[in-house]
Structure 1
Amino acid sequence: MKIIVLSDTHMPKRGKSLPPRLLEELKDADLIIHAGDWQTIDVYDLLKAFAKVEGVFGNVDGKDIKEMFPEKRIVEAGGYKLGITHGHGTRKTTEKRAVQKFADEKVDCIIFGHSHIPIKKYEQGILIFNPGSPTDKRRQENYSFGIINIGESLEAEHIFFTKE
């Protein structure tokens, strides 16, 4: 199972369209996860043409997105539980807020966004994953998104690219 993971698309403010590198990977996706800050429902409409889309809302998302998506959710995929949240709030770091959201729940992976900083690490056997942003790299060297492959295990990687 191939899952495309993205966050912080901020379209059309930060990008007028999805980048070609992302579009290429979407072609054979089984599932797409968006960790918030879509900015417009048009992003959902673009993504759903490729595969089923699961997601959460972020701090810049409007009423239309908040009506479609929760602030936090757990998605089961290939026998694994993936916790998804945007990570916005006050106090602590974005990563710590995201991890805390699932402190009382059994998940195999926590996916979050908000900081636009790609992160992949393990804490107490849980994969902590921020895909970065495919359209707004901020102070990062490259734009990015993630791919989670589920087979006998759950494996995640970042795809880094420059603007094309």
Structure 2
Amino acid sequence: MKKILLISDTHGYMGTEILEKATIHDEVWHAGDWGDMEQTSDKLCSITKVRGVFGNIDGRSIRKTYPEELFFELEGLKVYMTHIGGYPGRYKEGIKAKLKSFKPDLYICGHSHICKVMRDKLLDLIHFNPGAMGNKGFHTKRTMISFAIDNGKLIDINLLEYDRNKE
């Protein structure tokens, strides 16, 4: 079993609530728009294993470190992650073809700053968008998702919600 902390759209923010949760998870997955490399990726990598993709606001250092898309399998669960991809019924152009080809059990994206957990019955997958943990954007709450993968199954799925910090 692996415990995963899923975040996105930190936009350079890496508060103690993220770092503390990272210490009790086996991996942190970031769905893009990291912001500053030293403030985000470097801090997380010093705590636990990190997987992620770059987002539309990310600069050269993040783009050199993380790909635009990630396809992988963990504990028998197939995962596809990208930053901008849409959601069931409203996929970005080209995403549905990739989902049909790779056939992930879990499809993850960020970008919208809106937390979503949805099932796509047609493609037989679960979609996660963890929302945004940063303070930049229109969202009023900062969110991330904690879950576990056990023998190919998603278990213990929890939404972690925080007030937005004033800047």
TM-score range, shorter chain: 0.7 to 0.9
- Deviation at residue 102 of structure 1 after TM alignment: 2.4
Shift of 1:45: 0.3
Q: Is the 8 A contact 2:33 2:55 kept in 1?
A: yes
Which residue of 73, 77, 84 corresponds with 1:76?
Answer: 73
**2:146–2:159 Cα contact (<8 Å) kept:** yes
| Structure 2: runs of 5 or more not aligned | none
TM-score (norm 2): 0.83
2:55 maps to which residue? 58
Query: May I ask how many residue pairs the two structures share in their alignment?
Result: 154
Which amino acid is the alignment partner of residue 87 of structure 1? I
Moved over 6 A (4+): none
Select which of 79, 82, 105 maps to 1:108: 105
SS at match of 1:5: strand
CA drift of 1:25 comes to: 1.3
Aligned residue for 1:132?
A: 131
Distance in 1, Cα, partners of 2:145 & 2:117: 10
SS across alignment from 1:74: strand
Q: Percent identity?
A: 32
Residue matched to 2:27: 31
Measure, in 1, the Cα distance between the counterparts of 2:72 and 2:50.
11
Give 1:40's aligned residue. 36
Gaps of 5+ in 1: 89-93
What amino acid maps onto 1:29 in structure 2?
H
What TM-score, normalized by structure 1, do the two folds share? Answer: 0.84
Alignment match, 1:158: 159
